[in-house]
Amino acid sequence: MRNQRVVLLVEIAIFAALGYILDLIGFGMPQGGSVTFVLVPIILIAFRRGIVAGVVTGFLIGLLQVVTGRFYPAPLSFEIVVIQVGIDYFIAFMVAGLAGLLRPAYMKAFENQNKKKMAIAIVIGALIASFLRYLAHVLSGILFFGEFAEGENVILYSLIYNSTYMIPVFLFAAFICAILFVKAPRLLMPNS
């Protein structure tokens, strides 16, 4: 049992490091946010090991971004920035681990060798991860980045701005994970 726990912790660390590296590949938006492949490792570990592993991996990715200075702080006081960074870099990536909610559906489809249902479970899991992350960024945009709306409706601005990068992030994550998980389903089997 102790060895299994060590293996789990090592996997989480590896997937967090991979997520951090994949977040370096892509292009950033002017007021924060970027189109990258960061969700792929979070979704993979959430399907492989469950929700808790996905949430912890997301937390570690956020932590790596903050400690290495790869974050976009709001132009506000330090106390407010701490809350904003918490939402944009910790909560946003942690909730992506909830993609693991679809793990049982995927495993059932895998047992039945139903590739269509496997792909559907993966895409819905990626949608959950992306949508919850999107909501965290929208909330942060409403609360901390209203000045960029330049007199327009802050809620609408945040909804639109964050969708400009989160829709491609979802599409990339869903596509890559669907191909990976359907073509190499053993990636999701912790004992293989």
User: What confidence tens digit (pLDDT) does each residue in 132-176 have?
Assistant: 999 999 999 999 988 878 889 999 999 999 999 999 999 999 999
Query: What does the pLDDT read at residue 192?
Result: 53
- Burial of residue 87 (CB within 10 Å: 0-12, 13-18, 19+) is middle
Q: Which residue did the predictor score with more confidence, 2 or 5?
A: 5
Domain covering 2-188 assigned CATH 1.10.1760.20 in the classification: yes
Mean pLDDT of 31-56: 93
Domain boundaries, the chain: 2-188
- Residue 49, C-beta contacts closer than 8 angstroms, at least 6 positions apart: 8, 11, 12, 100, 190
pLDDT surpasses 90 at 48: yes
The percent of residues in the chain predicted with pLDDT above 70, rounded, is 96
Query: What does the pLDDT read at residue 34?
Result: 84
